[in-house]
Structure 1
Amino acid sequence: MTTVKPWSDLLGASERLDVAPAFDELREQPLCRVQLPYGEPAWLVTRYEDAKVVLGDPRFSRAAGAGRDEPRTRLHMGSPGNLLRLDPPEHSRLRRLVAKAFTARRVEQLRPRAQQVADHLVDRMLAAGPPTDLVEDFALPLPITVICELLGVPVEDRHDFRVWSDAFLSTTRFTPEEVAEHTGRMRDYMAGLIAERRKAPQDDLLSALVEARDQHDRLSEEELLTMAEGILVAGHETTASQIPNFVYVLLTHPQALAALRADPDLIPQAVEELMRYVPLGNGAGSARYALEDVELGGVTVRAGEPVVVALQSANRDGSVYTDPATLDLERKEASHIGFGHGPHHCLGAQLARMELQVALGTLLHRLPDLRFAASEEGTVWKTGVATRAPARMPIAWDQ
């Protein structure tokens, strides 16, 4: 029997944005068996090429987890109709309904509005004077405003979204009863908005989804509700976390920060390198189940066995990246898999890229002497949720 190792024993606790040194050793070994905080044991994938196989090969299935106690880092598994829990062709059918709203061309059309929002937020920060909390005053309201306007959700309700998102991603912060309460409130809220769009359609994505449901019968009522919830949470959570993560990394890497200040044209490439470098997740991604026996990473994964991928390890694979633990804003090597890979590659990746580019460009241009308000130790990190990011990050600048 293969030994099953608890995740916490194998890698220890996640500290800030550090990648566990144990991953360096794990990538040199065959796959190992791991026990995540919840669910059945799984095979752990740590190498870049193995990760791409699991995420992109149809022999590995998300939908096969239905009815199983899926390996996971958080209590809540999400609705069975969630895009992330489906395989093609069902996954493809639902994804097509919203994919056109997130194409590179459509996202570029949103860039001026994102820039306007970012400038407005910095204007308020400048008017109030330092110090300010980068998370509350910039990182959260920027992507929330953009996704709310795109989807058709009142942005003034954003404080509720923050609690609901944290509950949805909770590992230990909320009790099971609190998770159920908050996710239930989010579902009731979205159901109310859907009812409003049925009465009075608007020029937004939610109205388009309601039309696809009511007039074209292209998705069920449950699928409509689950998709709306997913877009709202995923549409802001990653970017709202990565903005302060990226700023934190740059402020603690002054040479890279100076390079960006000297050459803003590096920002798009910097965003890609930061996506590779920053470990957003605390654990491993969603489990895939082998549909047949598959040779992977030096072992045979048997049909029916789950596999989880550690993206933070794959993005630091020394067989793919030169000096992978080094932040290199001009790196030209293989594409990162920070947005995933294969059919479940992040639907909003282009939107996130644009918002991150706008955020970094605006902060560096408008606040050229941006710094920690006191020191990096003043940053308060999230705890008890599946994503790593500052909960509060006091910053300052010269008046």
Structure 2
Amino acid sequence: MVTQQRPIPYPFPPSRLEVHPRYGELRDLPLARVRLPYGEGAWLVTRHADVKTVLADQRFSLAAAVGRDQPRLRSMTRDGGGLFSKEPPEHTRLRSLVAKEFGARRVEGLRIRAREVADGLLDAMEAKGAPADLVDDFAIPLPTTIICELLGVPGADHRRLWGWAQSVLSNTSSEQELMTRGKELFGYLAGVLELRRREPGDDVLSGLVRACDEDEQITETELLALTCDLLIAGFVSTTNQIGNFFYQLLADPADLARLRDNPEAIPKAVEELMRYVPLLVGFTLPRYATEDVELGGVLIRSGDAVLVATAAANRDPEIFPDPEQLVLDRPVNPHVGFGHGVHYCIGAHLARLELQVALERVLHRMPGLRFAVPEDELSWKTDAMIIGLNALPVSW
């Protein structure tokens, strides 16, 4: 049983949507020790079965990371307060306040509205004429509009939120900038919550304000942290994946044509794209072992940090036949693109719907969609925790 190794520098350098080949090598070995630019060393988990264990086993705790010298890509550590820093029963209490609003039935009722928003954005792109930026003109405003309407955030502020999110998620922002931008964002959200107190509506934030003020189910601090979690998580990941998905399909015109000609295949294709297309630069938020655990051929000691690489797990040949191939009609697809266990993405149903609608409406409205610049001229984010394009110029 392995207990310690010389740490490997991590994360591995991303290259567009490529999954680094080192992950394949590590899957055949005991868990590896890694060292990030900041924080203490950690164990890296890459096999599908081990990743699911860490994500579901309460002996690996997100809450225990608060206050620790967490392995991370930037100097500042994350604070507690929201869903990403709590375990049951506190996590269950907070999640239960909003789970119904993000359930399958409630989200399916948003499909017509999502199509309306998508078509309105495509109308504007067509009116302006090609080329257009599929990121700025479509991928950003589509999920931002939907989550803001669902939460009860004023429409005029949607674009400001994207700017805040970009700064908060950047790995190159200085500590001062992160503190300043974070304070601006929380100040803005506090103002939105006050607005919902004065003018309550049929939206998520109005319900949360009532749960805080009338039912005392949530504290003011938790209310603000949960609002930030729902908002940022509600559009940042989906925005980047819309751009990533279209890049992947445009790079393989045969797959693009297959979906264009068979729109009924889009839901299954979204699941395969979620498996195949990496989103995170290496890993999820660190968890800490709360007791000694044997996993992946090593003894993880109580207090050790553990990182899971979902992109590596989604290419595990033990689970996925031909894992390096994009198979849009893959019949069985237990990917972990939305996580696993109690912290499974609360917005998974909403993200699925938005990704499906994005593919459906663009391919229907713009059947001749193509890159407007040579592929090697596309600009990718190099300073963020999430993989994505700065812009995706397209013609049609």
Report the TM-score when normalising by structure 2.
0.97
Which residue pairs with 2:127 in the alignment? 127
Which residue pairs with 1:345 in the alignment? 344
For these two proteins, the number of residue pairs brought into alignment is 393
Q: Which range moved further: 351-360 or 254-263?
A: 254-263
Which residue pairs with 1:2 in the alignment? 5
Identify if the C-alpha distance between structure 1 residues 75 and 345 changes in structure 2 by more than 3 Å, giving closer, same or farther.
farther
Separation in 1, partners of 2:164, 2:376: 28
How far is 1:76 from its partner?
4.3
Q: Can you list the C-alpha shifts for 1:45-88, whole angstroms capped at 9, x where unaligned?
A: 01100000000011111111122111123444433112111111
Q: Which amino acid aligns with 1:132?
A: A
How far is 1:19 from its partner?
0.6
Separation in 1, partners of 2:184, 2:84: 21
Query: C-alpha root-mean-square deviation of aligned residues, in Å?
Result: 1.1
Q: Which amino acid aligns with 1:340?
A: G
Separation in 2, partners of 1:274, 1:70: 30
Q: Can you list the C-alpha shifts for 1:118-153, whole angstroms capped at 9, x where unaligned?
A: 000011111111000001100000000001101111
How far is 1:39 from its partner?
1.6
Which residue pairs with 1:184 in the alignment? 183
Which residue pairs with 1:249 in the alignment? 248
Which residue pairs with 2:308 in the alignment? 309
Contact 1:163 1:182 in 2 (8 A): no
Is 1:329 the counterpart of 2:332? The answer is no
Which residue pairs with 1:103 in the alignment? 103
Q: Can you list the C-alpha shifts for 1:73-113, whole angstroms capped at 9, x where unaligned?
A: 34444331121111111000000001111000000111110
How far is 1:214 from its partner?
0.2
For residues 212-361 of structure 1, the aligned pairs below 5 Å read 212-361=211-360
Identify if the C-alpha distance between structure 1 residues 350 and 124 changes in structure 2 by more than 3 Å, giving closer, same or farther.
same
Separation in 1, partners of 2:374, 2:367: 17
Q: Can you list the C-alpha shifts for 1:204-260, whole angstroms capped at 9, x where unaligned?
A: 111110000000000110000011111110100011000010000001122211211
Contact 2:189 2:227 in 1 (8 A): yes
Separation in 1, partners of 2:5, 2:147: 45
Contact 1:62 1:87 in 2 (8 A): yes
Q: Can you list the C-alpha shifts for 1:273-329, whole angstroms capped at 9, x where unaligned?
A: 000001101121111111111110011111111110011101011111111110000
Separation in 1, partners of 2:353, 2:330: 19
Which residue pairs with 1:26 in the alignment? 26
Which residue pairs with 2:89 in the alignment? 89
Q: Which amino acid aligns with 2:28?
A: E
Q: Secondary structure at the match of 2:98?
A: helix
Separation in 2, partners of 1:26, 1:131: 42
Q: Which runs of 5+ in 2 are unaligned?
A: none
Separation in 2, partners of 1:188, 1:281: 28
Q: Which runs of 5+ in 1 are unaligned?
A: none
Separation in 1, partners of 2:64, 2:370: 48
Contact 1:59 1:290 in 2 (8 A): yes
Separation in 1, partners of 2:132, 2:286: 39
Contact 1:118 1:359 in 2 (8 A): yes
Q: Secondary structure at the match of 2:71?
A: coil
Q: Can you list the C-alpha shifts for 1:341-380, whole angstroms capped at 9, x where unaligned?
A: 0011001000000000000000000000000012222321
Separation in 1, partners of 2:268, 2:77: 34
Separation in 2, partners of 1:79, 1:240: 25
Contact 1:5 1:35 in 2 (8 A): yes
Separation in 2, partners of 1:169, 1:75: 13
Q: Which range moved further: 155-164 or 248-257?
A: 155-164
How far is 1:160 from its partner?
1.6
Contact 2:34 2:44 in 1 (8 A): yes
Q: Which amino acid aligns with 1:296?
A: L
Separation in 1, partners of 2:179, 2:163: 12
Which residue pairs with 2:207 in the alignment? 208
Which residue pairs with 1:113 in the alignment? 113
Q: Which range moved further: 86-95 or 252-261?
A: 252-261
Separation in 2, partners of 1:383, 1:133: 19
Separation in 1, partners of 2:346, 2:79: 18
Q: Which amino acid aligns with 2:10?
A: W
Q: Which amino acid aligns with 1:147?
A: I
Q: Which amino acid aligns with 1:192?
A: G
Separation in 2, partners of 1:100, 1:79: 26
How far is 1:169 from its partner?
1.2
Q: Secondary structure at the match of 1:55?
A: helix
Identify if the C-alpha distance between structure 1 residues 142 and 376 changes in structure 2 by more than 3 Å, giving closer, same or farther.
same
Which residue pairs with 2:373 in the alignment? 374
How far is 1:175 from its partner?
1.1
Identify if the C-alpha distance between structure 1 residues 157 and 91 changes in structure 2 by more than 3 Å, giving closer, same or farther.
same
Q: Which amino acid aligns with 1:5?
A: I
Which residue pairs with 1:73 in the alignment? 73
Report the TM-score when normalising by structure 1.
0.96
Separation in 2, partners of 1:347, 1:237: 14
